[in-house]
């Protein structure tokens, strides 16, 4: 099998919602809010990437992730770079990414302890269609009223620096040690090398592309996997029907077709783009 539909896992979060996104069943009004939907391959322990939907009603914690070296030193397989594709946002929705100016780790710790870190990080307004690639070490927080797709290195490793008084564990020592408290500077500007194909993010840990009405053959190098994420539309991949709200793991060459208009993300773990769709 060259393409396999991944299993969905619903994750309850205190900042989640009861109204999700078309294609996903809303949790009951008296149930816990759902903040994330993960797409997982139950036959593999740790594939290199993980794809999620996030649904926020409140701000997420101000947090940071370690790079590969720091993560491996603490017994994990890899660090965590991540990218966010904004699908929907309220008019006043924001994302914090980086700090407003360079700060010392000592100042970052003090700000996390007294709450002034909320003003220390750089809250940027967001709107549908925007993309952010957040490297490991970036101090960040996703704000309220946002629906997004997150593509990340596959590790469940988050160091919370500040959580607005919620009764959850913080990880100040580990988080401060791996933080790079500097203003965020994007490492890539989206490019459209061909009609219907946009490169949203390019390395250092993965490439993320967006395809409009894709048709043809996905050609992956030997041993590489790719993540096919339909945002809208329907079609088939490797002879199997796909639809929005799914995620497929592609292991080798696979033909792809779409019925009418469609909007698809495709991610693969490589530092530079390759000619995937032919």
Confidence (pLDDT) at 43? 81
- What pLDDT score does 70 carry? 98
Residue 186 lies in a domain: no
19 and 90 share a domain?
Answer: yes
Report the CATH number at residue 263.
2.60.120.10
| pLDDT at 44 exceeding the cut of 90 | no
Cis peptide preceding 71, ω within 30 of 0: no
User: Do the beta carbons of residue 219 and residue 268 sit within 8 Å?
Assistant: no
Flag whether 115 is in a domain: yes
Judgement on whether residues 160 and 201 belong to the same structural domain of the protein? no
Please report whether residue 278 resides in a domain.
Answer: no
| Structural domain contains residue 125 | yes
| Parent domain of 143 | 3-178
Q: Do 141 and 214 belong to one domain?
A: no
Residue 204's CB is within 10 A of a number of other CB atoms, namely: 17
Do 26 and 138 fall within a single domain?
yes
Residue 219 counted as domain residue: yes
Q: Which residues have a catalytic role annotated? A: 160
**SS3 assignment, position 105:** helix
Res 175: pLDDT: 98
For the chain, the domain total comes to 2
Q: Give the DSSP per-residue string, 166-217.
A: -SS---HHHHHHH---SB---S---EEEETTEEEEEE-SS-EEEEEES--EE
Residue 277: per-residue pLDDT: 86
Q: Which of 23, 60, 41, 221 is nearest to 134 (CA)?
A: 60
Would you say residue 28 has pLDDT above 80?
Answer: yes
Q: Which residues contact 17 (CB under 8 A, 6 or more apart)?
A: 33, 34, 35, 55, 56, 57
Q: pLDDT tens digits, residue range 47-103?
A: 999 999 999 999 999 999 999 999 999 999 999 999 999 999 999 999 999 999 999
Predicted confidence (pLDDT) at residue 46 exceeds the cutoff of 80: no
At which residue do the structure tokens 């099998």 appear? 1
> What are the backbone dihedrals phi and psi of residue 231, each rounded to the nearest 5 degrees, phi first?
-85, -40
């Amino acid at each position: 099998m060259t393409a396999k539909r991944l299993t969905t896992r619903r994750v309850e979060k205190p900042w989640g919602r009861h109204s999700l996104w078309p294609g996903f069943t809303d949790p009951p009004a008296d149930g816990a809010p759902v903040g994330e939907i993960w797409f997982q391959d139950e036959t593999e322990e740790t594939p290199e990437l993980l794809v999620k939907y996030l649904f926020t009603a409140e701000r997420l914690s101000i947090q940071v992730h370690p790079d590969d070296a720091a993560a491996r030193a603490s017994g994990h397989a890899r660090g965590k770079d991540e990218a966010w594709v904004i699908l929907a946002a309220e008019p006043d929705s924001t994302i914090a990414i980086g700090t407003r100016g360079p700060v010392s780790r000592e100042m970052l710790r003090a700000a996390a302890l007294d709450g002034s870190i909320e003003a220390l990080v750089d809250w940027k307004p967001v709107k549908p269609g925007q993309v952010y690639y957040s490297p490991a070490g970036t101090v960040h927080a996703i704000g309220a009223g946002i629906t997004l797709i997150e593509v990340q290195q596959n590790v469940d490793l988050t160091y919370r620096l500040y959580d607005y008084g919620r009764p959850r564990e913080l990880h100040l020592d580990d988080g401060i040690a791996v933080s790079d408290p500097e203003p965020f500077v994007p490492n890539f500007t989206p490019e459209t090398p061909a009609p219907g194909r946009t490169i949203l993010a390019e390395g250092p840990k993965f490439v993320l592309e967006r395809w409009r009405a894709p048709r043809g053959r996905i050609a992956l190098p030997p041993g590489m996997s790719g993540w096919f994420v339909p945002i809208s539309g329907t079609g088939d991949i490797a002879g199997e029907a796909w639809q929005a709200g799914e995620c497929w793991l592609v292991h080798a060459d696979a033909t792809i077709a779409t019925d009418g208009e469609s909007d698809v993300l495709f991610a693969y773990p490589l530092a530079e783009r390759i000619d995937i769709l032919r």
